[in-house]
Amino acid sequence: VAGAPDRPNEFEIIARYFDRGAGAADVVVGIGDDAAVIDVREPLVVATDTLVAGVHFPDDFAADALGYRALAVNLSDLAAMGARPRWCTLALTVPAADAGWLAEFAGGLFRLADELSVTLIGGDLTRGPLTVTIQILGTVAADRLLTRGGGRPGDDVYVTGTLGDAAAGLPVSRDAEDVLGRRFAYPTPRVAAGLALGGLASAAIDVSDGLVADLGHVCEQSGCAAEIDVERLPLSEALLARFDADAAYAAALAGGDDYELCFAAPPGAAAAVAAAARASATPMTRIGSLVAGTGVRCRLRGRRYLPPATGYRHF
């Protein structure tokens, strides 16, 4: 049954906006069958992330940004594993089959997918409250895999990019002209950095819930503690132009949604980390160290610094 031109049915939507024909050579069966089939020759890395309207993004968030961001947050998880992203599936729930909205959503999604050579291999489309679930699949050689658990006391702790921008930008995330708003709407997944750090970093995580919370997960799984020198945190000019130092530090330490990588590496690897930063065109800043003990402690110019309440908690 054909839908009206501006109210396409499920199959028309998939054909018009999401099915782009034969894809990569490693896709044996793509969109249009009961399931996708991919040819995997290396260890497979799988992650999934759901974005719910009103929970993970404002109800009036732009469709282009939603398509981009839904894929970016999944890519970030693969980056944190040192993996190369290759395929994804999309489960999309929309309140209505709005042709203009769907075209914009697909535009944002495929812009990022094409940039990183990721193929959409299947998915599901349903009607209901706006929700986007992407499953990302990638591969990594076993000796280049990054996990949260390999850090050791004495390792240096680094972050990529700048921190705090997305949390500061959330209230203005609809403003495409606002630098901080764009940092929330269009996060940069650090895939190139993750690949460059394979075999080099001792542990890694992506900063989705806030630096202190996420570095805390590294500490737990590595069986050690971390000390952050707050004055070393990489802060953008845009953040510092809008906030005083304390508010900027708070956003950098506790604000979520940055999707930068936080990683550890032995002190002897400092030159190799600098080379990885150049090779991946990604700023990497040393912000502290792993030490014996538990938990994450912060210092500001050598004195104890209490970070604000940390970490987004869903439940």
Q: In the complex, which residues of this chain contact Mg ion (CB under 5 A)? A: 77, 206
Eight-class DSSP state of 57: B
What minimum distance in Å lies between the beta carbon of 47 and Mg ion? 7
| Secondary structure of residue 208 in the 3-state scheme | coil
Q: Are 44 and 142 in contact (CB under 8 A)?
A: no
C-alpha 147 chain-centroid distance: 15
What minimum distance in Å lies between the beta carbon of 210 and Mg ion? 12
Q: Are 261 and 206 in contact (CB under 8 A)?
A: yes
Q: Name, in order, each residue with C-beta under 8 angstroms of 90's C-beta and a sequence gap of 6 or more.
A: 18, 70, 109, 120, 122, 123, 124, 132, 133, 134
What minimum distance in Å lies between the beta carbon of 265 and Mg ion? 19
Q: Are 128 and 176 in contact (CB under 8 A)?
A: no
What minimum distance in Å lies between the beta carbon of 263 and Mg ion? 12
Nearer to Mg ion (CB atom), residue 155 or residue 206:
206
Nearer to Mg ion (CB atom), residue 77 or residue 257:
77
Nearer to Mg ion (CB atom), residue 122 or residue 161:
161
Nearer to Mg ion (CB atom), residue 144 or residue 148:
148
What minimum distance in Å lies between the beta carbon of 77 and Mg ion? 4
Longest dimension (CA), the chain: 69
Q: Are 239 and 248 in contact (CB under 8 A)?
A: yes
What minimum distance in Å lies between the beta carbon of 232 and Mg ion? 23
Nearer to Mg ion (CB atom), residue 84 or residue 242:
84
Nearer to Mg ion (CB atom), residue 104 or residue 206:
206
Q: What are phi and psi of 163, to 5 degrees?
A: -115, 150
H runs (alpha helix) in 93-158: 99-115
